[in-house]
């Protein structure tokens, strides 16, 4: 989801860094030599990110980069440019190229689609690409192999109780085959006031392996990023509402159903001084949460302690781990970024 507000502070940080043509590997090496900034609030952050770690620009020039996923079999990152209805791939030595177009809206663009492209991306247990598609208002699977992509899709879910979903945003797959996903209104022109919005709330859902859809919660105003803890006993959901910028934690029962949630971390006051709302997130193998939000990527311990923040200098959408959690890829407004983590 693209943040609805922007700040003078970030605008100053980004002066001279507006959208450009997609960057080449050679020019990105110049950026790689620049020191990056990590706000270190707890010594535990040093065990995750080296003090001399750098933030590299792998590509730029996108309107709103989102939904990165690491594909081990192809050694590539896939990510989306939601407003432009395109998915890209990045590979070492090759740079960025178009992977899929259209990615999220398979008809001609209409007036009602605010952000028509795909947003969150994941791989299923067979290595197939699953997409949250804003324009088509569904969770879908690409009906083509990753080495021969095509804009052919199989609908996994597009309705709840007979009503069309808003614009599915992010998703996570459990080891037992259930998909948990968020459905805010960010793909709709007018957002909650859109005349084509059929569901009165913005929900978090569980799509069972059987195909049955189940509501997890309708109590979050702007549900966005979503992730599971390593033991799959906790479901984390970001709420990207500037009035209540929080991450929720929901207990996951043995049958995959989800219990009553509680606030895991409240960033509402932090967003007043450091711009950026909670958006996408991933959880590393040790249970640390890397969540985009105020300032860039907020790093939280499994107990909810704020360890530090990777400062990106721009509104930041989502992240993906690569190489067994040794690398983090970050989509930050017009850019795809990379940072190496500690072994």
| Residue 180 · residue 216 · CB < 8 Å | yes
205 domain residue, yes or no: yes
Tell me whether residue 107 is in a domain: yes
pLDDT score recorded for residue 113: 67
5, part of any domain: no
Q: Please state the domain count of the chain.
A: 1
Residue 103 confidence (pLDDT) above 70:
yes
Question: Can you give the residue range of the structural domain that contains 274?
Answer: 20-340
How high is the pLDDT of residue 37?
84
Lowest model confidence (mean pLDDT) among 77-81, 140-144, 304-308, 323-327: 323-327
Q: Mean pLDDT across the stretch 55-72? A: 97
So what's the pLDDT on residue 108? 62
Contacts of 12 (CB under 8 A, 6+ apart): none
Cis peptide before 102 (omega within 30 of 0): yes
| Three-state DSSP class for residue 154 | strand
Q: What pLDDT digit, counting tens, does each position of 155-203 carry?
A: 999 999 999 999 999 999 999 999 999 999 999 999 999 999 999 999 9
- 114 or 340: which leads in pLDDT: 340
In a domain, 70, yes or no: yes
In a domain, residue 29? The reply is yes
Contact assessment for residue 164 and residue 113, using Cβ atoms and an 8 Å cutoff: no
The predicted model gives 111-129 an average pLDDT of 89
Residue, of 10 and 250, whose pLDDT is higher: 250
State the pLDDT at residue 114: 80
H-helix or E-strand containing 289? strand 289-293
pLDDT value at 234 more than 50? yes
Percent of the chain with pLDDT over 90: 84
CATH assignment of the domain containing 334: 2.120.10.30
State the chain's mean pLDDT as an integer.
90
Written as six digits, the tokens of 216 are 């997890």
- Within-domain flag for 262: yes
What would the DSSP string read from start to end of 157-209? Answer: E-EETTEE-S----EEE-TTS-EEEEE-STTBTTGGG-TT--SSS-EEEEE-T
2-31 tens-digit pLDDT: 543 333 333 323 333 333 334 444 444 454
Residue 32 tokens, joined: 């790689």
pLDDT of residue 6: 35
* 127/74 Cα distance (integer angstroms): 10
Number of H helices, E strands in the chain: 3, 27
Helix (H) or strand (E) holding 12: helix 8-13
Question: In the 8-state DSSP scheme, what is residue 105?
Answer: -
User: Distance between CA 38 and CA 297 in Å, rounded?
Assistant: 9
Query: Given this model, what pLDDT does residue 1 score?
Result: 52
Residue 233 has pLDDT above 50, yes or no: yes
pLDDT at residue 324 in the model:
80
Partner residues linked to 62 by β-bridges: none
How confident is the model at residue 17, as a pLDDT? 35
**Residue 12, in any domain of the structure:** no
Whole-number pLDDT of residue 4: 38
Question: Which of 334, 333, 317, 233 is CA-nearest to residue 282?
Answer: 317
How far is 63 from 65, CA to CA, in rounded Å?
7
Biggest CA pair distance of the chain: 53
Handedness of CA 251, 158, 68, 18 (dihedral sign): negative
Query: Is the pTM above the cut of 0.95?
Result: no
- Cβ contacts of 145 within 8 Å, gap of 6 or more: none
Question: What would the mean pLDDT of 145-164 be, rounded to a whole number?
Answer: 97
4 in a structural domain: no
């Amino acid at each position: 989801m693209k943040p609805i507000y922007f700040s003078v502070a970030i605008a100053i940080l980004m002066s001279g860094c507006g959208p450009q043509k997609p960057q080449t590997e050679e020019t990105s090496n110049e950026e790689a030599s620049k020191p990056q900034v990590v706000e270190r609030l707890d010594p535990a952050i040093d065990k995750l990110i080296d003090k001399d770690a750098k933030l590299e620009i792998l590509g730029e020039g996108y309107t709103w980069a989102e939904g990165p996923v690491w594909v081990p079999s192809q050694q590539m990152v896939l990510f989306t440019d939601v407003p432009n209805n395109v998915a890209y791939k990045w590979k070492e030595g090759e740079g960025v190229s178009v992977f899929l177009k259209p990615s999220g809206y398979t008809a001609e663009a209409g007036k009602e689609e605010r952000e028509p492209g795909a947003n969150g991306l994941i791989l299923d247990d067979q290595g197939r690409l699953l997409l949250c598609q804003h324009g088509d208002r569904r969770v879908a699977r690409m009906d083509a192999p990753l080495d021969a992509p095509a804009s052919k899709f199989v609908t996994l879910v597009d309705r709840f109780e007979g009503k069309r979903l808003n614009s599915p945003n992010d998703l996570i797959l459990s080891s037992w085959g259930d998909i948990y996903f968020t459905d805010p209104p960010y793909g709709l022109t007018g957002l909650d006031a859109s005349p084509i919005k059929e569901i009165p709330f913005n929900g978090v859902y569980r799509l069972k392996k059987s195909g049955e859809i189940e509501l997890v919660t309708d109590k979050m105003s702007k549900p966005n990023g979503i992730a599971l803890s390593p033991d799959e006993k906790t479901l984390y959901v970001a709420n990207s509402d500037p009035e209540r910028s929080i991450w929720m934690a929901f207990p996951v029962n043995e049958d995959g159903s989800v219990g009553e949630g509680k606030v895991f971390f409240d960033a509402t006051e932090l967003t007043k001084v450091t711009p950026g709302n909670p958006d996408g997130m991933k959880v590393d193998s040790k249970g640390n949460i890397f969540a985009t939000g105020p300032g860039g990527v907020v790093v939280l311990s499994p107990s909810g302690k704020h360890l530090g923040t990777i400062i990106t200098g721009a509104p930041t959408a989502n992240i993906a781990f690569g190489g067994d959690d040794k690398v983090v890829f970050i989509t930050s407004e017009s850019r795809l970024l990379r940072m190496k983590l500690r072994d």
